[in-house]
Amino acid sequence: LRYADIMLIRAEALIELNENLEEARTLINEIRTRAGIPAYEGTYSQDEMRGMIRHERKIELAWECNRYFDVRRWFTAHGPDGEFNHDEYGLDMSRGTGATDPAFFTLTKVANKRFDIQHYFLPIKSSEIMLNTQLVQAPYY
């Protein structure tokens, strides 16, 4: 956990509570100035600030294993434009004679990634539900 992460969490909380957007902007700008990026000027709506904080978390915390949990917390992973719904591409290893051959660098569709609304929850094993009749199965299962 880095100090920048703590500041971004606080800024996100202030934005979601719609309490003090000015303080949230100050926290975001502190991180941006440290990185040598121009600060945000002016006033912004709650939705604009939400987009700004999501962008800052995406950039500042890249490669720190936060993105998966952030996107799930924001509930933006599913749907046709969901952040986890996209095709995966790779290089075609069967083309070309080696790694320097331009034919090797042909993009090939590797997988269709899907994240549906039920993927936010894990199903409860039916044996557990049979043991405890008070348990209710997770939604969409």
What's the mean per-residue pLDDT of the chain?
93
- Over residues 39-51, the mean pLDDT reads 94
- Looking at the DSSP bridge assignments, the partners of residue 89 are 109
- Cα angle 35, 12, 85; round to 5: 90
Q: What is the pLDDT of residues 2-43, one digit of tens each?
A: 999 999 999 999 999 988 999 999 999 999 999 999 999 999
Shortest CA distance to 118 belongs to which of 85, 141, 93? 141
Going by pLDDT thresholds of 50, 70 and 90, the confidence category of residue 97 is: confident
Quote the tokens at residue 45. Answer: 């709506």
Shortest CA distance to 46 belongs to which of 10, 15, 8? 15
| pTM passes above 0.85 | no
